[in-house]
Chain A
Amino acid sequence: MSVPGVAESTPRERKSVRLSTVLVRGQARYPLMQGVALVLLFLYGTESIDGFASILTLRSLAVVAAFLGLAALGQTIVILIGGLDLSVPAYIAVGSVFSSQVAGAAHWSIVITLALLVVLTAAAGALTGFIADRFQVQSLVLTLGVQAIVFGILQVWLKGAINGTPPAWLGTLASPATKTFGIGIPPMVVIWAVVAVMAALTLRRTIIGRWIYATGANPRAARLALVPTTAVWMIAFATSAVGASLVGVLLSGFAGGGGLAIGNDYLFESIAAVVVGGTALVGARGDYWRTVLGTLLIVLISTILVGHGASDATEQIMFGVVILVVVFGYGRNRHLRNRI
């Protein structure tokens, strides 16, 4: 009687081993656990909070996620090449000041304002990337300095006061209630989706994308393979600066005014979105889709916490705990014995 039992158990066990291998390999290639965590958190939110799955909540959740997701795009690229960008809040402030002060109070045409903004922030970002690569300084520290310089320039320029409001159409564009061409999706979400597809295609299908991964994996090998690594660093930081400043323009529309502190929450949240998504800080491992998932996870977590009426303090504590729980599943380093 026991013989058939054994005979039966052996193939089953083999199958289960195979399944786990498939899962581990799958996780290495695709953000499976992130997706599972997202679905579970969403179900939990729907279950425990009234009206969580309503169209209204979902729209505002998606718009908040779009801001963070767009701000984390440049951060993703910078982390892929092995850097870290702490100047995101400063460039968000620049964008909000341009839209409320230059386009709002000084009545410049929005086209000229945006063109000037993009040119200036791209130049500043490119210069940062150039310095980081040319002088081999830690981007973490360099961008900390850049952040202080940019905030300093804004303070000297404005003397502490912002007295304009951004153009009204910006508010409409950034509002969760607005429809895109009559379809019930806010324009911010459409913008984010288009940017996400473009970013994913650029990273996967273009030479610049290949350069980014090559530079992040091994800068010296990349240089020897004639990858223009300095240009890659300049592109990465310029993307981050331009992206953050445009998020600042949209955020000021959303909030109805600019402010120097408007982007402060994005300092750590943009990094958390990338890492919670599963992109490793060592560079070259990850992509923008993971950041999209990480962004949705983070926004979902804070929405659920707010929905449960958590105080500011409780929200911070739970945010830290949930990040640890979520990342425990997939975002950890390998054991030392496997790294020799």
Chain B
Amino acid sequence: MRELVQRLRSRSFGFVLVVVVALFVANAFALSDFLSPGTWMGTLGLFAPFALVAMANTPAIISGNGGIDISAAANMNFVNVLFVVVLLPHGLGRAEIAIPLLLIAGALVGLCNGVMVAVLRYQPVIATLAAYFILTGISLSLATNPVAAGQNWTNSFTSTPWPIVLIATPLVVWQVLARSAYVRNLLLVGSNGPAAFSAGIDVRTVTVVAYTLGGAFAALGGMALTSILRSADSSLALQYTLIGIAAVALGGTPFGGGRGSLFGSVLGAAALYLLQNLMISLDVSQNWVELMYGAVLVLAVVGSRYAQPKMVAIS
């Protein structure tokens, strides 16, 4: 038991893992069909946008130097609108054409963010905030009112393993990158940019790639969003922005950069999703949901500070 506690504490996502397990058990007791296999894909489909916006946020935050991607959710929303309003009517809606195009669109937005931060040296908050405004503006001009999507491949997400593929893709990509030098370089850049620069690491490229990856993950999120909305809705960016930030924080990735993991962000998103699911299923009034949500977020960030081993202060 003691060994287990120590193991959990040694991981940045140890605390949130415990929270997720507890919420999962609570959900299983509260909802009779939560564990029946027929509902799994539906649940995962609803969970996918949470997980993907959290993962889209993570590489930028790890890259440090005030790194954050406020535009991740706006990018996700933009991809959703782009698919429904532009690709589908122009006959580009088939999966094998649309998926690469959407991934490229999302990654290009991320690339722009990365170039603004690493090459043009904007503060990340300002660069991605401007990107947030520009993207929501474009989405709004493409779809002033929600537009129905009609029949397309994203409709089958709730009955096939698509959500698993969407959530797993970033994790697999990250694992592959962790085998190369990239993730280690990113962690060093995040924990001390000038030191990484002195050590000969190409800080610019590492940072640009981090934002680009985030953009591509956001594009996957846009597909997941389309599958649950079955329409283009340009008004969701703010809500998902806040969910994305909260999930990364819960997942144990510090906003100072240099530490954290994609897996932690998925767990953070899972905690938020399960909490919301639990409260809705318990018929908690919508008025109480937000209050509980905030309280859990505050308790969780304070709790995760305690759960982590203390760094020895040099003073």
Does B42 sit at the interface, judged by CB under 8 A? no
Q: Are A138's CB and B301's CB within 8 A?
A: yes
* Closest A-B pairs by Cβ, 5 of them: A152-B291, A148-B294, A316-B137, A320-B133, A317-B137
The answer for the CA separation of A138 and B300 in the assembled complex, in Å, is 12
12 A-B pairs (CB sep. < 8 Å) = A137-B301, A142-B301, A148-B291, A148-B293, A148-B297, A224-B315, A271-B125, A280-B123, A313-B140, A317-B133, A320-B134, A323-B129
Chain A's interface size range is 35 or more
Q: Are A138's CB and B132's CB within 8 A?
A: no
Q: Are A141's CB and B193's CB within 8 A?
A: no
Cβ of A135: which chain B residues have Cβ within 8 Å of it? 301-302, 305-306
**A323 and B194 in contact, given A140-B245, A144-B242, A282-B66 (Cβ under 8 angstroms):** no
Does A136 sit at the interface, judged by CB under 8 A? yes
Cβ of A173: which chain B residues have Cβ within 8 Å of it? none
Cβ of A267: which chain B residues have Cβ within 8 Å of it? 238
Q: Are B297's CB and A136's CB within 8 A?
A: no
Min CB–CB distance A315 → chain B (angstroms) = 7
Min CB–CB distance A258 → chain B (angstroms) = 17
Interface positions, chain A 106-158, Cβ under 8 Å from B, are 131, 135-138, 140-142, 144-153, 155-156
Chain B's interface size range is 35 or more
Min CB–CB distance A156 → chain B (angstroms) = 5
| Total A-B residue contacts, Cβ distance less than 8 Å | 164
Q: Are B298's CB and A149's CB within 8 A?
A: yes
Does A340 sit at the interface, judged by CB under 8 A? yes
The answer for the CA separation of A221 and B290 in the assembled complex, in Å, is 38
Cβ of B116: which chain A residues have Cβ within 8 Å of it? 324
The answer for the CA separation of A18 and B146 in the assembled complex, in Å, is 57
Binding site for B on A (CB under 8 A): 86, 131, 135-138, 140-142, 144-153, 155-156, 159-160, 220, 224, 264, 267-268, 271-272, 275-276, 280-282, 311-321, 323-324, 327-328, 331-337, 339-340
Q: Are B130's CB and A323's CB within 8 A?
A: yes
Cβ of B141: which chain A residues have Cβ within 8 Å of it? 311, 313-314, 317
Does B127 sit at the interface, judged by CB under 8 A? yes
CB nearest neighbor in A for B135: A320
